[in-house]
Protein backbone atom coordinates (compact mmCIF):
# COMPACT_ATOMS: atom_id res chain seq x y z
CA UNK A 1 0.00 0.00 0.00
CA UNK A 2 2.84 2.40 0.73
CA UNK A 3 3.86 2.71 -2.92
CA UNK A 4 0.39 3.26 -4.34
CA UNK A 5 -0.64 6.63 -5.71
CA UNK A 6 -3.79 8.16 -4.26
CA UNK A 7 -5.75 7.08 -7.32
CA UNK A 8 -4.45 3.51 -7.02
CA UNK A 9 -5.21 3.44 -3.29
CA UNK A 10 -8.82 4.54 -3.81
CA UNK A 11 -9.31 2.09 -6.67
CA UNK A 12 -7.95 -0.75 -4.53
CA UNK A 13 -10.44 0.16 -1.80
CA UNK A 14 -13.34 0.18 -4.28
CA UNK A 15 -12.19 -3.15 -5.75
CA UNK A 16 -12.11 -4.68 -2.25
CA UNK A 17 -8.35 -5.26 -2.31
CA UNK A 18 -7.97 -2.96 0.71
CA UNK A 19 -10.57 -3.05 3.50
CA UNK A 20 -12.82 -0.02 3.83
CA UNK A 21 -11.95 1.12 7.35
CA UNK A 22 -13.06 3.85 9.66
CA UNK A 23 -16.00 6.13 9.19
CA UNK A 24 -16.87 5.12 5.64
CA UNK A 25 -17.19 1.48 6.70
CA UNK A 26 -20.48 2.62 8.31
CA UNK A 27 -21.90 4.26 5.16
CA UNK A 28 -23.88 2.23 2.66
CA UNK A 29 -22.53 3.42 -0.68
CA UNK A 30 -22.22 2.16 -4.25
CA UNK A 31 -21.58 3.26 -7.81
CA UNK A 32 -18.22 4.80 -6.99
CA UNK A 33 -16.80 7.06 -9.70
CA UNK A 34 -13.08 7.71 -9.68
CA UNK A 35 -11.04 9.73 -12.17
CA UNK A 36 -8.10 12.09 -11.90
CA UNK A 37 -9.38 15.11 -9.97
CA UNK A 38 -12.86 13.62 -9.45
CA UNK A 39 -14.48 11.32 -6.91
CA UNK A 40 -18.09 10.46 -6.18
CA UNK A 41 -20.54 7.81 -5.09
CA UNK A 42 -24.20 7.08 -4.46
CA UNK A 43 -25.16 6.60 -0.82
CA UNK A 44 -28.22 5.64 1.17
CA UNK A 45 -28.67 7.38 4.54
CA UNK A 46 -30.54 5.42 7.19
CA UNK A 47 -32.26 6.25 10.47
CA UNK A 48 -28.83 6.11 12.14
CA UNK A 49 -28.01 9.31 10.21
CA UNK A 50 -30.99 11.47 11.25
CA UNK A 51 -31.35 14.49 13.52
CA UNK A 52 -34.14 15.18 16.03
CA UNK A 53 -36.45 16.38 13.25
CA UNK A 54 -36.14 13.08 11.39
CA UNK A 55 -34.13 14.33 8.42
CA UNK A 56 -30.57 13.40 7.50
CA UNK A 57 -28.22 15.20 9.89
CA UNK A 58 -26.20 18.07 8.43
CA UNK A 59 -23.08 16.76 10.14
CA UNK A 60 -23.45 13.48 8.26
CA UNK A 61 -23.82 15.34 4.96
CA UNK A 62 -20.78 17.48 5.84
CA UNK A 63 -18.82 14.28 6.47
CA UNK A 64 -19.80 13.00 3.02
CA UNK A 65 -18.69 16.32 1.46
CA UNK A 66 -15.38 16.12 3.35
CA UNK A 67 -14.89 12.51 2.20
CA UNK A 68 -15.53 13.06 -1.51
CA UNK A 69 -13.55 16.31 -1.71
CA UNK A 70 -10.48 14.94 0.07
CA UNK A 71 -10.72 11.79 -2.06
CA UNK A 72 -10.84 13.89 -5.24
CA UNK A 73 -7.61 15.57 -4.13
CA UNK A 74 -6.08 12.20 -3.31
CA UNK A 75 -6.61 11.07 -6.93
CA UNK A 76 -3.96 13.58 -8.03
CA UNK A 77 -1.32 12.75 -5.42
CA UNK A 78 1.65 10.43 -5.49
CA UNK A 79 2.50 7.67 -3.05
CA UNK A 80 2.80 8.40 0.67
CA UNK A 81 0.97 11.74 0.59
CA UNK A 82 -1.76 12.44 3.12
CA UNK A 83 -4.69 14.83 2.70
CA UNK A 84 -5.74 16.65 5.88
CA UNK A 85 -8.73 19.00 5.95
CA UNK A 86 -7.86 22.52 7.09
CA UNK A 87 -11.19 24.16 6.30
CA UNK A 88 -14.60 22.71 5.43
CA UNK A 89 -17.51 24.85 4.30
CA UNK A 90 -21.00 23.47 3.70
CA UNK A 91 -24.24 25.05 2.52
CA UNK A 92 -27.49 23.13 2.91
CA UNK A 93 -30.34 23.73 0.46
CA UNK A 94 -33.06 21.25 1.39
CA UNK A 95 -33.57 18.33 3.77
CA UNK A 96 -32.98 14.71 2.85
CA UNK A 97 -34.95 11.80 4.26
CA UNK A 98 -33.55 8.54 5.59
CA UNK A 99 -33.99 5.81 2.99
CA UNK A 100 -33.43 8.24 0.13
CA UNK A 101 -30.86 7.75 -2.60
CA UNK A 102 -28.28 10.54 -2.69
CA UNK A 103 -25.22 11.12 -4.85
CA UNK A 104 -22.08 13.02 -3.93
CA UNK A 105 -19.57 14.20 -6.51
CA UNK A 106 -16.42 16.27 -6.03
CA UNK A 107 -13.98 18.04 -8.32
CA UNK A 108 -10.56 19.46 -7.61
CA UNK A 109 -10.20 23.19 -8.07
CA UNK A 110 -6.44 23.51 -7.55
CA UNK A 111 -3.51 21.53 -6.18
CA UNK A 112 -0.21 23.05 -5.14
CA UNK A 113 2.80 21.56 -3.40
CA UNK A 114 1.32 21.79 0.10
CA UNK A 115 -2.33 22.88 -0.26
CA UNK A 116 -5.28 21.67 -2.32
CA UNK A 117 -8.80 22.99 -2.93
CA UNK A 118 -11.90 21.04 -4.00
CA UNK A 119 -15.67 21.42 -4.08
CA UNK A 120 -18.62 19.00 -4.01
CA UNK A 121 -22.36 18.73 -4.23
CA UNK A 122 -24.90 16.25 -2.95
CA UNK A 123 -27.91 15.56 -5.16
CA UNK A 124 -31.14 13.69 -4.54
CA UNK A 125 -32.58 11.14 -6.99
CA UNK A 126 -34.24 14.00 -8.94
CA UNK A 127 -30.87 15.79 -9.33
CA UNK A 128 -31.98 18.50 -6.91
CA UNK A 129 -29.15 19.99 -4.85
CA UNK A 130 -29.29 18.97 -1.19
CA UNK A 131 -25.95 20.50 -0.17
CA UNK A 132 -22.76 21.99 -1.58
CA UNK A 133 -19.40 22.36 0.04
CA UNK A 134 -15.71 23.00 -0.37
CA UNK A 135 -12.46 22.17 1.37
CA UNK A 136 -9.00 23.54 1.78
CA UNK A 137 -6.57 20.73 2.58
CA UNK A 138 -2.99 20.36 3.64
CA UNK A 139 -1.05 17.92 1.47
CA UNK A 140 1.56 16.16 3.57
CA UNK A 141 4.25 14.14 1.82
CA UNK A 142 5.85 11.52 3.89
Exposed e or buried b for every residue in 101-120, given b needs 16+ CB within 10 A?
A: ebbbbbbbbebeeeebbbbb
CA dist list (Å): 125 to 7, 36, 57, 102, 108: 27, 25, 18, 6, 24
Report whether 111 contacts 46 (CB < 8 A): no
23 pLDDT above the threshold of 80: no
Where do the domains of the chain lie?
6-141
87-129, pLDDT tens digit by residue? 999 999 999 999 999 999 999 999 999 999 999 999 999 999 9
pTM summary value: 0.94
pLDDT at 1: 57
State yes or no: pLDDT of 64 exceeds 70: yes
Share of the chain above pLDDT 90, in %: 81
CATH 3.10.129.10 fits 6-141, yes or no: yes
Q: How many CA atoms lie within 13 A of 101 on its CB side?
A: 7
Mean pLDDT taken over the chain: 93
Amino acid sequence: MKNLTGLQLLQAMVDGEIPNKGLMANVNFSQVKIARGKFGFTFYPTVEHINLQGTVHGGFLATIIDTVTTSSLLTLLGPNTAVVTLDLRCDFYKPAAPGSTLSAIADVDSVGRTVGFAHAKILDSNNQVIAKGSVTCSLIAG
